Homo-oligomer: A and B are copies of this chain.
């Protein structure tokens, strides 16, 4: 008996290219997500933005190059982070070549899904039927299947 991708898929918050960047970061933080699933403004699958890449956005470039310079910043960290998001959209968070969102069809097997996740080193895979994301499978969810925790 095959377990199909759509059977394992869970609801997952989606953001689109025009979603407010602060709101997207808040969703990732509050739901403790491994990454943001980004769609085009038409709802089509677009990219996956791992949490570390959202963090990258809040760190000024000169500090990314020399983390010890973080000590010279006068502003409070929380404000520093919030200010980076102000007035920005999700499209501004994406790197020039964003990680493609790994996608399987609802009737693909979970082992195919696992192979794709491993190959693309992605924290999650989207399950798509008729061009629409019907759910997401995270690494934790997939492993729960093997550990009898689903």
- Contact check, B78 vs A148: say whether CB atoms are below 8 A apart: yes
Interface locus among A37-45, A61-69, A127-135: A61-69
Partner among B26, B54, B63, B139 whose Cβ is within 8 Å of the Cβ of A111:
B63
Contact check, B29 vs A143: say whether CB atoms are below 8 A apart: yes
Interface size class on chain A is: 35 or more
Q: Main secondary structure on chain A at its contact with chain B?
A: helix
Count of identical protomers in the assembly? 2
| A100 within 8 A of partner (CB) | no
Known: A51-B139, A52-B121, A76-B3. A26 touches B115 (CB 8 A): no
Instruction: Report chain B residues within 8 Å CB of A29.
Output: 140-141, 143-144, 146-147, 149
Q: What is the bound-complex CA distance between A131 and B143, given in angstroms? A: 31
Question: Contacts A3-B76, A77-B2, A111-B59 known; A123 to B51 CB distance under 8 Å?
Answer: yes
Closest approach, in angstroms, between the C-beta of A78 and any C-beta of chain B? 5
